[in-house]
């Protein structure tokens, strides 16, 4: 079945710097790749997604890139702010369900 690997598991950056989180998937048939942000004490919330017919998508300070050939996709956060501190999950949709990565804890220091 599909397997999603996510790196790094923790990431610390200074406010204003960029942060990049990377995921790889195993099944070339996967066609939808969302990213979820989980703040402390809350459930995950969708922040951006990309479909397999698109290479890049941006929404203000966040962007996602997809390389279908290499089977990996990445989340880019520019000009990080303390409120970006959270756990981020990537996911891959395959056949009939989403498979999530193991999560990245991002800490943004003022």
Partner 1 sequence: DVKVTQSSRYLVKRTGEKVFLECVQDMDHENMFWYRQDPGLGLRLIYFSYDVKMKEKGDIPEGYSVSREKKERFSLILESASTNQTSMYLCASSLNAGTGELFFGEGSRLTVL
In which residue are the tokens 């200074």 written? 14
Binding of partner 1 at residue 24 (CB under 8 A)? no
Is the torsion defined by CA of 81, 8, 21, 47 positive or negative?
Answer: negative
Does 83 engage in binding with partner 1 (CB under 8 A)?
no
| Span from 12-20, 34-42, 58-66, 72-80 in contact with partner 1 (CB under 8 A) | 34-42
Q: Is 11 in the site for partner 1 (CB under 8 A)?
A: no
Residue 107 forms beta bridges with which residues? 12
Q: How many angstroms separate the CA atoms of 87 and 103, rounded?
A: 6
**Residue choice 21, 25, 34, 86 for contact with partner 1 (CB under 8 A):** 34
Other CB atoms within 10 A of residue 11 CB: 17
Binding interface with partner 1 (CB under 8 A)? 1, 4, 6, 9, 31-32, 34, 36, 41-46, 49, 51, 89, 91, 93, 96-103
């Amino acid at each position: 079945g599909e397997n999603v690997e996510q790196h790094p598991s923790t990431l610390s950056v200074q406010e204003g710097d960029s942060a990049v989180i990377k995921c790889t998937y195993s099944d070339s048939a996967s066609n939808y790749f969302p990213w979820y942000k989980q703040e402390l004490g809350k459930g995950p919330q969708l922040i951006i997604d990309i479909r397999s017919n698109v290479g890049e998508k941006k929404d203000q300070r966040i962007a996602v890139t997809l390389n279908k050939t290499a089977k990996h996709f990445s989340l880019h956060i520019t000009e990080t702010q303390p409120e970006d501190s959270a756990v981020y999950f990537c996911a891959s949709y395959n056949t009939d369900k989403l498979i999530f990565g193991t999560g990245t804890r991002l800490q943004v220091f003022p």
